[in-house]
Structure 1
Amino acid sequence: MERHCPEEPPTCPGFRSPIRWPKSRDQIWYSNVSHTKLVQYKGHQNWFNVSGEHFVFPGDRTQFKHGALHYIDFIQEAHKDVAWGKRTRVDVGSGVVASFGGYLFERDVLTMSFAPKDEHEAQVQFAVERGIPAISVVMGTRLPFPSRVFDAVHCARCRVPWHIEGGKLLLELNRLLQPGGYFVWSATPVYQELPEDVKIWEAMSALTRSMCCKYFNKVKDRINRVGVAIFQKLMDNRCYDGRSTANPPLCGDCDNPDAAW
């Protein structure tokens, strides 16, 4: 069939050619992603701000008060085997600015960030405009990745209830991890002692034990006043096979771990 195209291609009013990497990590055109509501809601956390014609990303948002690179180094110091360099990571819930993934480029790490579309608009638009890999996706079903492809999963203040519904969401992350891969969790249940945080930590501890995850000590950063807990996926199924109670159960033989891909 013949296709008729307009002589003048349609354009978005005010859209400008994106700023090129690496400068785009620190600033993008305001007119390309003009979501002022998110700036108003998150501005006090210093995730990013408006400066003239640009959105500016200082790289020291709530979780990175002394810079994203300090936080990245803190994670590696917490457990030396979490080595950066020629690795792949997935960053959960970091769609607004994805600075963690943006700065991991300096450590030779490729990171995919994802976050849902919520009342603050499609947050990942900011990350994509900056040139940082990101997709908009909701935890709850199979994520669009094959199994055993990431070296580590990182979650910082992502507010995902990993411990509920039998750990369904954490099991999905476990599917993505390579054998021996790490789950790096930095959230208030790790470093605060409020009753709700303690309750969640106890539930997560029980869940990760039942999943045969190897747990390393919680470590707190005195500068940023946050902490991380690091869990490791085992290399084989011997622990699963030796459990007295198969809960959570292993997937059946007919369950293709790569079906979503």
Structure 2
Amino acid sequence: MMLLEENQIAFHSQDGLIFDGVKDYSRQIAEMMGLGSDSEFFQAGVRTVLDIGCGFGSFGAHLVSLKLTALCVAAYEATGSQVQIALERGLPAMIGNFISRQLPYPSLSFDMVHCAQCGIVWDKKEGMFLIEFDRLLKPGGYFVITSPISKPPGHATSSKKRSMLTPLAQFTEKICWSLIAQQDETFIWQKTVDAHCYSSIKNNEVPLCKEGYDTPYYQTLMPCIIGASSKRWIPIQNKSSSPDLSSVELEVHGKYCSTQIIFLSLHPCF
């Protein structure tokens, strides 16, 4: 919650759907993952988090306090920009969406993707939004969604909301994600650590992409799995053996980052 206190803006621990405070929410996620507290995220392999539609940045700020790297990505807004607020709080953030194109990050880049009331319609584009999350997640990484539509079975939920959740639940099975926990309005899926799982998908509904699709440029969203044959396919629990990005990958993405900083600094909203 953003409040004006005297001549300063204060960010209290309420953000969007996180009613019980960001610390309690973060701890809830950790416990749903089987951890004792959110202070164990790092040891569990969760070190880089992509926060989609990040509100006032309270969740990202809390993750930073836990020594994690959290990046906010939100769509352009003419007023009340979430990205502007996050940047002014000193948090990494950028304007972007993946309605038609991939986000400008290498495959297998994040340990967790977090989506709290991010407004994505999951049955659009035949599951390609989830395929993009799969591309970005490292093996064994987590997808966390908190939304009124994600109430567990047995709760009173309108037929419209159930119809919105069903495609999400069905499609995650097709891309080898496992639902590991659900509590209240929060669901957590975990990406497979077995790259061969994709080739065993029934009827080849989500095929593997051909070589050459995994490039650092703005590719259109792909209806196929990227990264399964990468040398960087290493579960997040095995961080010590993870290879670094190649010099080519570092060069290209470094150029993008510097360009993005210039873009943000010149943007009229900033």
Classify the TM-score, shorter chain.
0.7 to 0.9
Does the CA contact (< 8 Å) of 2:51 and 2:70 recur in 1?
A: yes
Residue from 7, 31, 35 that aligns with 1:77: 31
Say yes or no: does 1:217 pair with 2:181: yes
Q: SS of the counterpart of 1:111?
A: strand
Residue in 2 aligned with 1:152? 112
Q: SS of the counterpart of 2:129?
A: helix
TM-score, scaled relative to structure 1: 0.74
Q: Deviations over 1:184-217 (max 9, x none)?
A: 1111121261212111221111111111111123
Residue from 72, 86, 105 that aligns with 2:64: 105
Does the CA contact (< 8 Å) of 1:163 and 1:207 recur in 2?
A: no
* Whole-angstrom distance in 1 between the partners of 2:127 and 2:215: 17
Count residues in correspondence.
Answer: 208
Does the CA contact (< 8 Å) of 1:115 and 1:136 recur in 2?
A: yes
Q: Deviations over 1:158-191 (max 9, x none)?
A: 1112332111111111111101111011111212
Structure with bigger strand share is 1
Q: Deviations over 1:122-161 (max 9, x none)?
A: 3211110111111111222111111101111010111112
Residue from 146, 150, 167 that aligns with 1:203: 167
Bigger radius of gyration: 1
Residue in 2 aligned with 1:230? 188
Offset at residue 243 of structure 1 (A): 2.0
Structure 1 residues 208 and 109: CA distance shift in structure 2, 3 A:
same
* Whole-angstrom distance in 2 between the partners of 1:58 and 1:241: 46
* Whole-angstrom distance in 2 between the partners of 1:168 and 1:131: 32
TM-score, scaled relative to structure 2: 0.71
Offset at residue 121 of structure 1 (A): 4.5
User: Could you say what the CA RMSD is over the residues aligned between the two structures, in angstroms?
Assistant: 1.9
Matches within 5 A, 1:58-207: 58-80=12-34, 83-85=40-42, 87-94=47-54, 96-140=55-99, 141-191=101-151, 193-207=157-171
* Whole-angstrom distance in 2 between the partners of 1:252 and 1:79: 33
Does the CA contact (< 8 Å) of 2:122 and 2:164 recur in 1?
A: no
* Whole-angstrom distance in 2 between the partners of 1:217 and 1:89: 18
Does the CA contact (< 8 Å) of 1:122 and 1:136 recur in 2?
A: no
Structure with bigger helix share is 2
Structure 1 residues 65 and 188: CA distance shift in structure 2, 3 A:
closer
Structure 1 residues 170 and 257: CA distance shift in structure 2, 3 A:
farther
Structure 1 residues 80 and 177: CA distance shift in structure 2, 3 A:
same
Residue in 1 aligned with 2:5? 51
* Whole-angstrom distance in 2 between the partners of 1:89 and 1:163: 24
Q: SS of the counterpart of 2:126?
A: helix
Q: SS of the counterpart of 1:218?
A: strand
Offset at residue 255 of structure 1 (A): 1.1
Does the CA contact (< 8 Å) of 2:109 and 2:138 recur in 1?
A: yes
Residue in 1 aligned with 2:214? 256
Does the CA contact (< 8 Å) of 1:93 and 1:158 recur in 2?
A: yes
Q: Deviations over 1:62-106 (max 9, x none)?
A: 423332111000001112268412611110011x41110101122
Offset at residue 119 of structure 1 (A): 4.1
